[in-house]
Structure 1
Amino acid sequence: MSETARSRTGTLTARLRALYEGRSDRAHRFRYALLAFDLLTILFVIATSFSTHGPVVETINTALGVVLAAEFAARLLIARQRLKFLASPWVIADLVAVMSFLAPLAGEGLGFLRVLRTLRLLRAYPLLFRLRKDFAFFRRNEEVIVASINLAVFVFVMTGLVYATQHKVNPQIGNYGDALYFTVTALTTTGFGDITLDGTMGRLISVVVMVCGVTLFLRLAQVLFRPRKVREPCTVCGLELHDADAVHCKHCGEVIRIETEGME
């Protein structure tokens, strides 16, 4: 590689890192835009699961795949340890989702796996920091929101997996709605029995939905019904969560200053 090409690659890498990892307003707007694009992509996959795919849908699929592949290449470029980056389960799931858009014959339903990256983006510290700063509602209810997102993403991913693996072989799974119905009834252990998954793979998916889904549901119930906490790190012992009206840290007794918006 020539010196000029190396210099251009270094400049591009620096600019991309500033967008993906920086804390400027531009970087935050970029990450919010990525999140919005991910959500729109997922909605597109849901909507098209209810209809027969024609040339228009396939063209949009391919266009989305090209955009997603370019975004994936950008993240690969800025990765400091690329082999470790490529070995990450999040990245593998994202790569499968990108390939599903570029190769519809492999199953466009796998595009649902892209929601995993949406969760990864939400859990990234810079975005969480910005959400806390921008939205008072998020600051007050962060644990409930994150637990709800975890449960929703699990339901969404498992529904996508059910749809991707069953809609061509199981007449009971005709669209995303059928897959969602099965996932919710399995997660809540209602089990009406009107829709079942075929084969060993189907039974394994059912087990994962019930075991992991109930765990996430109980986590959401826990944060909903326990006393609300405020995130304000103690400068002495580091304890982060305190009662909303706390004046002193429960661990070390240090005075803490919790910023509020006033009376609710």
Structure 2
Amino acid sequence: MEALHRTVRLLYTGQSQRARRFRYGLIVFDAVTIVYFIATAALPTTPVMTALNTGLGLLILLDLVARLWISENLRRELTRIYTLADLVVVLSLLLAPLITENFAFLRVLRGLRLIHAYSVLRDLRRESLFFRRHEDAILAAVNLFVFIFVITSFVFVLAFDEEGGVAGYVDALYFTVATLTTTGFGDITMTTTGGKLLSVFIMVVGVALFVQLARAIFQPSKIKHKCSECGLNRHEPDAVHCKHCGELLNIETEGDIGT
């Protein structure tokens, strides 16, 4: 058992070529499942889809158990938002065959798989120099992407599920984007008190996320690298010395410092 534990830990945290390939495979799997849950959010449940969802649930559960098993701080790992989201998603997938009603609610829970994108970002930060160089812009874009599709799932269930199907989901996405951009076409509106409060929430948070994304794109890009002397963790990609304390830096590069 100790040998198996060491093997799993090295796959998730090691620097060998095998470990890196394994982690890239996990990144691809996470991305595919996120796209799958978005694409199937409005589709009717079929036996094939139920079987596929169960299989995905088991794979996600296996990954989750492995991460918890090798964690040095189990309590902290259990309180991470993407760990909690994965637990909810696994339950929604594995319990779905036993539930005959309220599949719309389960679609919302599966939408929480989007939150696992933040775990993917953590892995990319470790694996990709390109990501570390453009981390702020990528993170801001992911924040906006996750917000849009999680909220779309809730709007779809609350206001458009009676229509069902892809058309209803597109209406929910259309309403969400029109609201968070404050475009306000008015052709699709919320009439209930709860719906109006949800619209206010979408507008306030959506505008903040758009501003964050614009600022990350247009402000000078910096790379994340903690100075060993003063702790400053944002520097120019081609910095040699820390601009705060003058300490010599050793920022990993690929030889391209831009212009």
Alignment TM-score, normalising by the size of structure 2: 0.80
Match of 2:218 among 219, 225, 231: 225
Give the deviation of 1:257 after TM superposition. 6.7
Tell me the CA shift for residue 128 of structure 1: 0.6
Which shows bigger deviation, 95-104 or 42-51? 42-51
Moved more, 111-120 or 221-230: 221-230
Q: 1:189: which partner in 2?
A: 182
CA separation of 1:62 and 1:175: change in aligned 2, threshold 3 A? farther
The C-alpha deviation readout for 1:218-246, integer Å capped at 9, x for no partner, is 11111222223344554543433334565
Of the three residues 27, 35, 42, the one matched with 1:43 is 35
What's the CA shift string for 1:166-217, capped at 9, x where partnerless?
Answer: 4435779954322221221111111222223464543443333222222221
Cα distance in 2 for partners of 1:225, 1:211 equals 22
Aligned equivalents of 1:196, 1:103: Cα separation in 2? 33
Partners in 1 of 2:42 and 2:166 — Cα distance?
Answer: 11
- Contact 1:46–1:176 (Cα < 8 Å) also in 2: no
| Paired residues, number | 250
Please say if residues 92 and 109 of structure 2, whose CA atoms lie closer than 8 Å, have aligned partners that are also in contact: yes
For structure 1, list consecutive stretches of 5 or more residues without a partner in the other structure: 1-7
Instruction: Give 1:73 deviation, angstroms.
Output: 2.3
The answer to whether residue 25 in structure 2 is matched with residue 28 in structure 1 is no
The alpha-carbon deviation at position 57 of structure 1 amounts to 1.6
1:4 alignment counterpart: none
Residue 89 (structure 1) aligned to one of 69, 78, 81:
81
Of the structure 1 ranges 153-162 and 165-174, higher mean CA displacement relative to structure 2 is found in 165-174
Tell me, yes or no, if the aligned pair for 1:18 and 1:27 is still in contact at 8 Å: yes
Give the Cα separation in 2 of the matches to 1:123 and 1:117. Answer: 10
Alignment of 1:212 with 2:205, yes or no, is yes
1:100 is matched with: 92
Q: Please list the CA deviations of residues 9-62 of structure 1 after superposition, one character each: whole Å capped at 9, or x if unmatched.
A: x33333222222333332222222222112211222232234333222222122
Q: Share of identical aligned residues, percent?
A: 44
Alignment of 1:245-256 (within 5 A): 248-254=241-247
Q: Give the Cα–Cα distance (whole angstroms) in 2 for the partners of residues 74 and 157 of structure 1.
A: 26
SS in 2 for 1:206: helix
Normalised to the residue count of structure 1, the TM-score between the two structures is 0.78
Closer, same or farther: CA 215–246 of 1 in aligned 2, 3 Å: same
Q: Return closer, same or farther for 1:207/1:246 CA change in 2, 3 Å cut-off.
A: same
Gap regions ≥5 residues in structure 2: 97-102
Which protein, 1 or 2, shows the higher relative CO under an 8 Å CA cutoff with sep ≥ 6? 2
Aligned-partner residue type, residue 217 of structure 1: F
Contact 1:112 1:157 survives alignment (8 Å): yes
